[in-house]
Amino acid sequence: MSQTIETCRRLYNDLLEERLKENTNYFAQTKAVTAVRREDKFLGAVNAQVLQDVALRLDMACSRFFKGLSRRPRFKRAGRYKSFTYPQLGGFRVLGGEIRLSKIGLIKIRPARLIAGTPKTCTIIMDVDVWFACVTVETENSQGIGQMPCGPAVGVDLGINRLVTLSDGKKFENPRVFVRARGRITILQRQLSRRKVGSKNRQKSRIALAKAWRRVRNQRSDLAHKISAFLSKEYSTIVFEDLNISNMVRNHRLASAIMDASWGNLRRLAAYKAERRGGRVILVNPKGTSQKCSRCGEMVAKELSERIHDCRGCGLVVDRDVNAARNILRVGLEQARVEEQPLLFNRRRISKFVPLKQEARGTRPTGSTAGSSIHHQFLLF
């Protein structure tokens, strides 16, 4: 599996270099890879569809760049390419406690849950020293999925001191995961810098540092999943601020805290979970939501250190974040009434936050009998 990832990484870099020099396209590169694979022993040792998926990844990265949704595709150095995908069932097969991978063989797995449905794709992921198999299956719509929930609408104010504040007063504190792990990460980083390049001790230090960062990443993701699951179950419409996070992290004093809060990941997870339950997420302009009174609309100037909203016009005294969340909800509902059809996101670049689903052949059926895509992730031994 390590050799397959390295072969895919080198192929990705070669295809990217070819695109930059000759301005070729996906179909031409796919045909070229199929022809060269017969002569190259490294490419021949990898399943043909896995190599075609590498070309597809590059094509999607280029498409996102030209649409203004991501940065220019970059060459992948060693360690930056960490997965490969079998786009069809023929390249893999799950057999109880084992999985058979084409050109690799039979591997034991620790299933997270039983597979229910028709397997479609399988992605093998390397996470430091652990391997995962993420299998996508297609099933019939389960009960409650795709139906419009009957819950109320809610406005969400994102912050640093308090991670999430809802318009109905519910609050989720920020655990500050990175702050708690900073000491150990600093020590491991210093140890790594002292090791001799190419030595076994350096490799051990690198793995220990990567594990520490993985723990931080998993804790952030776990909290984002819990909050997004709560929002999608309890509310039919979720209104977020349309924050430009990439510009906000340019403030070096707040960049670490903003990245630790993982606002973008929370918003993305809430979007696809709300969509599966028939709800929607709306993004609104955050301008003035913290200063305007949610009851009378009067502007009440406040410094960042002032955490209480005290309106002299109507006498409303409420938490600053709750007031902002109520303003966000009001703007979102007014914006939703203008739209003739409900949208997952009410902004120009909608596809930036809509989860993309790759299909090996054809498209997913639509309508009440349409299947839903579910991901099963297994631990490989």
**Using CA atoms, how far apart are residues 9 and 234, in angstroms rounded to an integer?**
43
CB atoms within 10 A of CB 356: 7
The last residue of one of the domains, among 89, 115, 140, is: 140
Residues 136 and 110 in one domain: yes
Residues 242 and 284 in one domain: yes
Specify the DSSP element, H or E, that contains 281: strand 280-284
Residue 328 covered by a domain: yes
Residues 239 and 113 in one domain: no
What is the DSSP annotation of 19-70?
Answer: HHHH---HHHHHHHHHHHHTT-HHHHTS-HHHHHHHHHHHHHHHHHHHTTSS
Residues 133 and 250 in one domain: no
Residues 253 and 334 in one domain: yes
Residue 374 covered by a domain: no
Cβ contact 361:90 at 8 Å: no
pLDDT tens column, 298-329: 888 888 788 888 888 888 888 888 999 999 99
Q: Are strands 280-284 and 308-310 parallel, antiparallel or unpaired?
A: unpaired
Report the alpha-carbon angle 280-289-348, nearest 5: 45
For residue 316, what is the domain's CATH number?
Answer: 3.30.420
Q: Which domain holds residue 135?
A: 2-140
**Using CA atoms, how far apart are residues 11 and 50, in angstroms rounded to an integer?**
11
Residues 258 and 340 in one domain: yes
Cβ contact 162:322 at 8 Å: no
Residue 202 covered by a domain: no
Q: In which order are the strands placed within the sheet that holds 83-86? A: 83-86, 118-127, 130-140, 371-380, 105-110, 98-101, 92-95
Residues 245 and 278 in one domain: yes
Cβ contact 346:335 at 8 Å: yes
Residues 171 and 120 in one domain: no
Residue 198 backbone phi and psi in degrees, to 5: 90, -5
Residues 173 and 316 in one domain: yes
Residues 124 and 80 in one domain: yes
Residue with tokens 């090791």: 195
Residuewise pLDDT in 10s, the chain (381 residues): 999 999 999 999 999 999 999 889 999 999 999 899 989 999 999 999 999 999 999 999 999 999 988 889 999 998 899 999 999 988 999 888 899 999 999 999 988 888 888 899 999 999 998 999 999 998 876 545 555 556 789 999 999 889 999 999 899 999 999 999 999 999 999 999 999 998 999 999 999 999 999 999 999 999 999 999 999 999 989 999 988 888 888 888 889 999 999 999 999 999 989 988 888 899 998 888 888 888 888 888 888 788 888 888 888 888 888 999 999 999 888 887 654 444 444 443 333 333 333 333 333 333 333 455 667 776 775
Residue with tokens 């023929």: 90
Residues 132 and 229 in one domain: no
pLDDT tens column, 226-284: 999 999 999 989 999 988 888 888 888 889 999 999 999 999 999 989 988 888 899 99
Residues 170 and 46 in one domain: no
Residue 376 covered by a domain: no
